[in-house]
Structure 1
Amino acid sequence: MGMILQIWDETVTGQPIVGKYGETVVVPCNKGSIKQEDIILTKWKYTEVDSTTGDLLTLKAQGVTIQPIAEYQGRVNITKDLSLEILQAKITDQKTFTCMVVTAADIFEYPVQVTIQKAPSQPTITNQAKVMQLGKLMTLAECSTKDAIPPAKIIWLKDNVELNLDGKVGNITSSEQKDKQTGFTSSSSKLEYAATKEDANAKFTCAVHHKSLASDLVSAPMTFAVHYPSEKVSLQVVSAVPIKEGDNVTLKCAADGNPPPTSYNFYIKVTKENSDSYTITGVTQADSGEYKCSLVDNETKMGSTSFTVMYLDITSITQGKIAKRLSESFEATLVVNSSDSVQVSWTKNNVKLDAKPKFDKLKYSDSGLYECVVSMAGIVKKASFELSVQGAPVITKLTKHPKNGGKLLSCKAEGSPKPTVQWSINGTSTTESSFVGGTVTFNLTVNQAGNQTINCTVSNELGFDTKSIYISTLLDDTTTDKREQTEDSKNQTQVVVGVVIGLIVAATLLGLAYWFYMKRTRQGTWKTGEKENGTMEESKKLEETQSQKADV
C-alpha cells in the first residue's frame, strides 16, 4: 500500500511597498516560521494589473534560475533572506510580486503590492502678468510641473496662505497630461485674480504637492503692481520752516493713485502751472495764504495747503551821523513791524549795552558808534548810527613843571570837534595826548628866559578858550585850573598867606620895641637947654634903623 503526500497552499498578503523611480526596490519574502534548510524551492512571480501572471526567477539547491523576460534582464536578484531586489525601478514595476516557498510538507505564498513614485520637477512660472488692474479679473500667472508619478497637485498661495477662491475674487484652473511612453504626468494650474489695493505689496507663490516629497516645491515669490485711479489729492510745503521773507518755498502735490500722476494743476495766485511741484522764489508777506493743486484730468480732485511767511521790518530807527550839543538830551528811536516777538540788542563801539541809548544830559564820552541788532526766527536786521557830542572847547587845567632847565607846560581841554592849540610862545617837543571822550592834553617844552606870562589858546569851529600861566624864576609850581583846585595848591596858598602875616606881625613888634627903647633913652639923657631931637649922631642912627625896617 503506497503513501499519500498532503500539500496545503497558504497565502499571506504583505504590506504594500513604495519604490522610488530609478532606485533599487527591495520586496521582502515572509516565509513565516519555515526553516531555511526545510525549503526545497523558492520562486518569485508577478501579477500584472490586468491579472496576467509570469515567473521572474527560481531558487533551488542547484542555484538561481532567472526567466528570460526582457523587461527584467539584469535588473532582478534574490537575497540570502529570499527578498527580491529590483534595480533601477521603472513605472512598469508597479505590480504585485509574490514570493512562493515550497517545503516537503507545504507551499507558502506571500504577495506584495509594489507602487513606484517619481518626484515632480521644480515648478515653472509662465504668462506672468506685470500689472494688475484694481478689481479686474485677469490671469495672474500659470504654474506647471513635469514628469510626476503619481500626478502632482499644484496650489496657489498669497503671503504663504493658500488661496481659496470663490469665483468672484479669482479662479484656479488645473490640468494634467500623461506621457504614454514614459507614464509620467505633467500638471499645470492657471490663476485668475481680481486685485485690491492691498495686493500691491503681496507675494504670490505656487507650490507643488506630491506623495514622494517630504515638503512642497515652491516657486519664487511674485509681486505685482496694482494700478488704480487717484481718489485723494494732497498739497504739502516741502521747504524748511519757519518760512522767512526772501526764502524759496516749494509746494509739492501728490495723489493716492498708482501709478501716481506726474503732473498737476497748481493755482498760484490765479496762475495755473502743470507740474508735480512749484517753487515760489523770494517770498514776502504777500505770499502768505492758501494754495491749491488738482489732477490734470479731473480738477474736482483737489488738495490744498497754506503757509505763513515770517517777516521782520525795521520801520523807523536812528541811523547815520548824529551831531548833538553838550548837555542836550537824546534818545535813539526804534520801531519794528514783525510777525512774532523779536530780540533787540544794542552795542556801543562793539561793547554790549543794557538798554536802548537814552541820555538826559549828553557828555563828550557818550560819543561813539551805536549798533542795533533785531532778530526773530532766524531773520536778522541791523542798523547803526554814529553819535557825535559837540561843544566849544574849555581849558580845564593849565600846569607847569621843571624840565631840563626849562618848563614843561600842559594845557588840558574839553571840546568837540577836537580842539587845536595855539601857544603864545615858541617851544620844543610839542606833543598831544589821544582825543578820548572829548578830552585832549597839549604839551609844550620852553626854555627858562626870565619871568613871563604864557597863553594857551584852544579852539574849534564852535568857539575858543584862552588861559595864561606865569613863569617865574623863583616859583616853579604855579597852576591855573579853571574847574578844579587840588589840595596841594590850597595848602601852598595857605603857607604863603601865613608867611606874609608872620612878617607883618614881626615888623610891628620890632617897631614897638624900638619906640619904647628910644623913649626911655631920651628921658634919661635930656638936659635943660638941649635940642629936643637929640644930637646929630643920634639922629643919624635913628635914620639908619628906620631904613632897615623899611627894607624888611
Structure 2
Amino acid sequence: MHLLSASCVCALLITAALLHRVSGSEIVGLYGETLEIPCNNGAIKADDVLLTKWKYDGGDLLVKNKDQNVSITATDEYKGRVSLAANSSLLLSAAKLTDQRTFTCMMVSSSDIKEYPVSVEINKMPSSLEISDKAEELEIGKRTKLGTCVAQDANPAAEITWLKNNERLVADEKGISIQASVQVDPVTGLSTTSSVLEYSAKKEDTNAKFTCISQHKGLTSSPVSFNITYSTENIVLQVIAQEPLVEGDNVTLKCEADGNPAPTSFMFHLKGEVMKVENSDTYTITNVSRDNSGEYKCSLIDDPTMEATKEVSVKYLDINLSPSGTIVKKAGETLDLTLQIDASEDSKVSWTKDNVKLDKEPKFTKVIFSESGRYECEVTMGLLSRKASFELVVEGAPVISKLIKQRGEDGKHKVLICEAEGSPKPAVSWSINGTSLDESPFVNGKITHKITVVPTANLTVSCTVSNEFGTDSKAINVPSLVCPCIKPGKSQLNNLNQ
C-alpha cells in the first residue's frame, strides 16, 4: 500500500475540521445483479480528488489514492464483491438483501473533505406466481376454498390480488374471503406470500377464468376454471314426434334438467303408469292410438316434486260413407246418403262428381239419368285427409229429350239430331236410311245420335230408342230440298228453308 507523504497527512489532519457530510441519496438495486452505487455525481472534479474511500457501518471497503491502484480493505462478506468504477462509483456484485444499508463515499481534495451517504434498497420479483391447492369443483351458494396463490421469493413481499375474468375480487366476508400470509426465508431474507381465496360460486361462473397478480409489473398466474355444480332448478318435458301425430306413429318423451351434473335417470308418468328410466332421458311410446292422448309427466328420481308436464294429442280422422261402392237405382227412386265423421278436431268436407268439384253435398230425392257418375268426398282436418266414394248408376227406359233438324252447311242436305237418356245404353234407330255422322259417347245415361239425309219430298222421320227397360219414339217433319215446277207459295218457301 502506498502511503500519503507526511506533508499530505499533516494537511489532512489540519483540514479534518473541514469535513462535512452531504445529504444522503437512495438507490434501488435488483437482487442478484451488480449494483452501481454513485459517489459524488460530479460534485468534485476527478482531477481534484486526492483520495476516494468507500465504507459502511461495518468498516471500510476500499480506498484509492490519486494516481494509485484501488486497495480493497474489506475482510467480511464484501471481500471479493466490491470494486471501483472509473467514475468512483462502488460496484457491488451479486446484490442480496443484507446489502440493504447505507454505503458512504468519502472524497478528499486539496481544499475539502466530503462524505456522500447512499441508502440502498434491494428489490426482487417473485420467482413464480401460481395457483395451487385448486378445488375440484365449486358448488353454487357454498363458500369453498378455490385455491392458493403463491408468490415465491420476493422483496418486498408480494401483494396479491385475485381476478375473475380480469375483474378484481374484493373480500366481503360473505361470498368472498381472501386471507394472505407471508413467510421469510431465514437464509435469503426473501418473502413468500400466500393468498387463499374462498369463493361462493354462481351459475354464471361456469367457464369463468380466475387469475392472481402481484404488484410487480406484468406478473400474472395462469388462468384456472372450475366445474360449477348446482342442483336442478328447472325441468322440461319435450314431446318428439312428427306433425301431426296420428294413430300408428311413435312418440318420444324427452326429459331435460338444468342441474350440473345433469340428472341421467328419470321417472316417466304415463297416464297412471310410472316407468323408471335409468341412464337415459327419453322414453318412447310406439304405435300410439287416440287412447294415448292426455297429460304426461317426468320427474327426478331423487326429488319427485321436481316435475314437468306436457299434453300429448294424437290426431285421428275416421269417416264412413254409406252406401258405397257401385249403387244402381231406377230413375225416379230416392238415394239416401250418410257420411259419418269421427275426428279429434273440426273438419271440412268437399265433394266431386267425375273429378269436377261440386258446390255442395249431393242430394238424391228422385234420381235422374244425368246424376249417374262417380262421386267422391274428401274430409280434411289440418294436414290429415280421408276420402270415400261411390259410383251411381241410374237405370230405366230411355226417353228422347230432343229431336231436331238442321240445314247442312252446303244447303244440300239436312242433319237430324236425336238426343236420349236412359240406361243401359239405348239403341238408336231411324225410320229412314241416312248417312250416320256421329254418335256421342254414352256418359251419365245420355247419348246423342246424328244422321244426314237429302229429302227429295216432304218426309216424316221417326227416331226410336230402346233398351231392356223399354222404348221411346218421336217423329219430325222434314221438307223436300227439291224445287217443284210451279212457283212455290210463301209457306212452301218457309218449309224449304227449314
> Same fold, TM exceeding 0.5?
yes
Question: C-alpha offsets along residues 141-179 of structure 1, whole Å, 9 cap, x if unaligned?
Answer: 333333323332444444533252649976746453627
Is residue 6 of structure 2 the alignment partner of residue 9 of structure 1?
A: no
Q: Secondary structure at the match of 1:5?
A: helix
Compute the displacement of 1:109 (Å): 1.0
1:282 and 1:308 map into 2 onto residues whose CA distance is: 14
Taking the TM superposition and a 5 Å limit, the aligned residue runs for 1:234-273 are 234-239=236-241, 244-273=246-275
Taking the TM superposition and a 5 Å limit, the aligned residue runs for 1:132-531 are 132-133=138-139, 139-159=145-165, 160-164=167-171, 166=173, 172=179, 174=181, 176=183, 178=185, 180=187, 184-191=190-197, 195-196=200-201, 198=203, 201=206, 203=208, 205-210=210-215, 213-228=216-231, 230=232, 234-239=236-241, 244-275=246-277, 276-314=281-319, 319-326=324-331, 333-358=338-363, 364-395=369-400, 396-397=402-403, 411-421=418-428, 432-436=439-443, 438-442=445-449, 457-466=464-473, 475=480, 494-495=491-492
Q: Secondary structure at the match of 1:218?
A: coil
**Structure 2 gaps, min length 5:** 1-9, 483-487
Percent identity of paired positions between Structure 1 and Structure 2: 42
2:214 and 2:330 map into 1 onto residues whose CA distance is: 106
**Which of 80, 99, 121 is the matching residue for 1:115?**
121
CA RMSD across the alignment: 4.6
Q: 1:142 to 1:6 in 2, by over 3 A?
A: closer
Q: 1:11 to 1:379 in 2, by over 3 A?
A: same
Taking the TM superposition and a 5 Å limit, the aligned residue runs for 1:535-546 are none
Q: How many residues align?
A: 473
- Compare CA radii of gyration and give the structure with the larger one: 1
- Could you tell me which residue of structure 1 aligns to residue 54 of structure 2? 44
Kept in 1, the 8 Å contact 2:35–2:95? The answer is yes
After TM superposition, the score normalised by the length of structure 1 is 0.68
Question: C-alpha offsets along residues 13-65 of structure 1, whole Å, 9 cap, x if unaligned?
Answer: 433211223555443334685455443333333x2xxx412324536245655
AA aligned opposite 1:495: Q
AA aligned opposite 1:112: V
**Which of 30, 33, 51 is the matching residue for 1:20?**
30
1:9 and 1:497 map into 2 onto residues whose CA distance is: 166
Kept in 2, the 8 Å contact 1:410–1:442? The answer is yes
Q: 1:111 to 1:436 in 2, by over 3 A?
A: same
After TM superposition, the score normalised by the length of structure 2 is 0.74
AA aligned opposite 2:61: D
Q: Secondary structure at the match of 2:14?
A: coil
Kept in 2, the 8 Å contact 1:123–1:145? The answer is yes
Q: 1:343 to 1:157 in 2, by over 3 A?
A: same
**Structure 1 gaps, min length 5:** 478-490, 500-552
Relative to total residues, which structure has the larger helix share, 1 or 2? 1
Q: 1:161 to 1:343 in 2, by over 3 A?
A: farther
1:179 and 1:291 map into 2 onto residues whose CA distance is: 72
Compute the displacement of 1:191 (Å): 4.3
Q: 1:30 to 1:420 in 2, by over 3 A?
A: farther
Q: 1:421 to 1:87 in 2, by over 3 A?
A: farther
1:493 and 1:417 map into 2 onto residues whose CA distance is: 46
**Which of 84, 108, 118 is the matching residue for 1:102?**
108
2:380 and 2:184 map into 1 onto residues whose CA distance is: 83
Compute the displacement of 1:220 (Å): 0.6
Q: 1:350 to 1:101 in 2, by over 3 A?
A: farther
Q: 1:204 to 1:387 in 2, by over 3 A?
A: same
